[in-house]
Chain A
């Protein structure tokens, strides 16, 4: 713990801190471009210069200088001021003065820092260099003349994403940042370089020329594109969400966001259900709310009602539907749309118990039937960090490309029952062994066999629980907590032949199974369920309602409403409340607050942000065995996994171009 002085104030800093971190601890702002907390230190922008004694009589790059005992650091001296002005002047020599047409304007580090630390004007009269644009795919727009070569994008793709595809070509003043032969950046986290870029060199292509940051209303929300529950900020103007950006949450997403979650918002204004529809003579026709509710009342289902929840609904919606079904006398609730029927008597056995941050500490990891990069991109980032710390990863299932060294043990799920001796040896010796089971594994019995594995290798020990299930639906854990699970899964609902099936945005269900039922679809997009519905009641997407979501590690998180739902669409809970009136039952709440209070009374864990407690891991059922060949993974197209994604032109293009190799001619600009 070195003691040092920053601008005359003495303080103690943690061992291993840099001078820059010491200055920050002292409350001093140090300008920087290349330095980033989550990336390696490059030390090439020189903006963070400070004066340090003892040391050479010149300014030092504080980001790359270790803090040491007895240092006297000055951030406010004349030398530092002049050094910053000098560095800024050099950075601006080749930077174009095109801020008025630059999308980074208003949230640009270079702009802000040149105002704060730069000279008043330029003394440079020679010609500036120009760099040709580099094609980096449908998500990243490049204006490489603006690049100041901080190499954050290069370090991100190498260190965090684990996909070496961006590099710094040539040298000195001719340096250019490019992907290899200008191939599109193809991995699932590629757009994070847009946030990292401190200038306007890498900006968001779909968002180009859409808005200025000061026009936007910022709303705290939760990403629903997968079950990680990344913390996001929705930037909206008027009734439209223009972009989603990650928020910092070290427990969940650090400060990254998957491309799917980021560009899904483009689908929020397209293919929307913005008025009620009613099937008359086999054809869907626009209707009024009153007509729609009349039609539902006429069916008079009694207690023959079932609710199927989609992958993106919030807990409040599911609870409101549960109350409605309960008031009608039914408990037919299911959220696992594809028919999975694992035992949910203990939620600890379907939870990601190590936690997303905790899995970084694991030293031996067995993945069974999960293509992590598609199913939970941000979990893959954690696994990569674990491997960098020395973890060994083994995977049972068809081969995919992990971004870290991993050993594939074949497709046969039965491998889990009896691991090869050398692999078993690794787990037996591991201090923090972990298993991660995905949907493709669960259907082969890997969850039960995984519990046996957990017992055998003692996965639950002091301060460590290595049993993990990774889900893909943002609504899954919340749904399971609210009882959206039948013993036999969806098959039980089919067998019950309900007169009325309420779909809460359930677009992944094989609806042919419910040919004899009246299907009331409360959803926001005209996707698969809307095609088969008898009555469509337009609801709100995740950006248009307050809601509670529980991620795959059992973390309860709240999202806020950013914009109003379009047209006649209403928040889902109020649609369900009105439906109760139509069906002449009482659900016991008249406002969202009352609904939330009732929900928390029912499931107290939903009332507190943070990890829910699911109790101890249950014992494995006797004779649990995984059987069968894992033939494939559930996600066939990582860009088009839900109704909102499928409506997003950006993600449609990503799918066509990056996954299916279609080429798109660049529009002449």
Chain B
């Protein structure tokens, strides 16, 4: 049943339990000197009395700092959320609400690379099933970090790259126009510590301009054209 699949996916998102070990590891979290500067700059963007608005960029900053420390994409342990709450003098529950609402905040430990494959209709029609299969072959599955600590996997809904489907987002980068072979190569390069070419993987395509020859709206190439009479 479709719905049960959806449920298991959702249930994968949970707050990492607050344990003494977690407290011991992250209780002393504080901005690095560099991030302390950045945090100040971020808070200053908001008008006086509205400093709490900085919670989203600060959570992102905190997540990145945790990531840098762990050499992963980074996540938000409870003590880190508490640190951000204290930094902005706001109730901790309000911070947790934000962190749990937005899926770009990882609220449980995550691998070195967070592979987010789009499975929505345009990507699916263009072969995202094969891309997912390529990921699964390496032991990736939802809500799970592979044993080597490299991969976390999530099947996500539309990421807005339908013109260059299928696509995958890995950490901060998008990889588009994928074939399973491209996917294999990208994952290999990442695992080897190299930075694969981001964006479209089609040779000759730069962004999401028409691949190959223009197939529609051809009359508009040279000048504006009113198509309405032809509908």
Contacts and interface: CB of A to CB of B under 8 A. Distances in A.
Contacts of B56: none
Given A127-B7, A129-B7, A180 B1 contact: no
Interface stretch (B87-95, B129-137, B142-150, B186-194): B87-95
Given A168-B97, A169-B100, A179-B93, A127 B3 contact: yes
Contacts of B215: none
B10 A174 contact: yes
A165 B13 contact: no
Nearest to A172: B10
B100 A181 contact: no
Interface in B8-53: 10-11, 13, 15, 18
A167 B10 contact: no
The 8 A-B residue pairs with the shortest CB-CB distance, nearest first, are: A164-B91, A167-B93, A169-B100, A180-B93, A167-B97, A126-B3, A174-B10, A171-B101
A contacts with B: majority SS: mixed
A215 interface: no
A170 B3 contact: no
Contacts of B100: 169-171
A127 B8 CA distance: 12
A193 to B, nearest CB: 14
Interface of A: 126-127, 129, 164-171, 173-174, 179-181
B83 to A, nearest CB: 14
Given A127-B4, A171-B100, A181 B91 contact: no
A129 B6 CA distance: 11
A180 B10 contact: no
Nearest to A166: B93
Contacts of B101: 169-171
B96 interface: yes
Contacts of B93: 164-167, 179-180
Interface in B187-224: none
29 contacts: A126-B1, A126-B3, A127-B3, A127-B4, A127-B7, A129-B7, A164-B91, A164-B93, A164-B94, A165-B91, A165-B93, A166-B93, A167-B96, A167-B97, A168-B97, A169-B97, A169-B101, A170-B13, A170-B100, A170-B101, A171-B101, A173-B10, A174-B10, A174-B11, A180-B91, A180-B93, A180-B96, A181-B18, A181-B78
Nearest to B90: A164
Contacts of A166: 93
B17 to A, nearest CB: 9
Contact of A127 (B1, B13, B94): B1
A169 to B, nearest CB: 4
Nearest to A163: B91
B94 A167 contact: yes
Interface in B132-170: none
Contacts of A129: 7
A129 to B, nearest CB: 7
A388 to B, nearest CB: 14
A174 B13 contact: yes
A129 B3 CA distance: 10
Nearest to A180: B93
B96 A169 contact: yes
A166 B97 CA distance: 10
Contacts of A127: 1, 3-4, 7
Contacts of B78: 181
A174 B93 CA distance: 17
B78 to A, nearest CB: 7
A169 B1 CA distance: 26
A167 B93 CA distance: 6
B10 to A, nearest CB: 5
Nearest to A181: B18
Contacts of B102: 171
B39 to A, nearest CB: 22
Interface string B69-105: 0000000001000000000000111101100111000
Contacts of A165: 91, 93
Nearest to A130: B7
A165 B91 CA distance: 8
Contacts of A164: 91, 93-94
A416 to B, nearest CB: 30
A181 B96 CA distance: 9
A167 B97 CA distance: 6
A209 B12 CA distance: 34
Nearest to A126: B3
B97 to A, nearest CB: 4
Contacts of B94: 164, 167
A147 to B, nearest CB: 15
B107 to A, nearest CB: 9
A123 to B, nearest CB: 14
Contacts of A168: 97
A170 B107 CA distance: 11
A151 B10 CA distance: 21
B12 to A, nearest CB: 10
Most buried by A among B7, B78, B93, B102: B93
Interface in B177-192: none
Contacts of B97: 167-169
A180 B13 CA distance: 17
A165 to B, nearest CB: 6
A164 B10 CA distance: 26
Contacts of A179: 93
A165 B85 CA distance: 13
A370 to B, nearest CB: 25
A180 B92 contact: yes
A168 B10 CA distance: 16
A371 B91 CA distance: 22
Most buried by A among B1, B92, B94, B97: B97
Contacts of A170: 13, 100-101
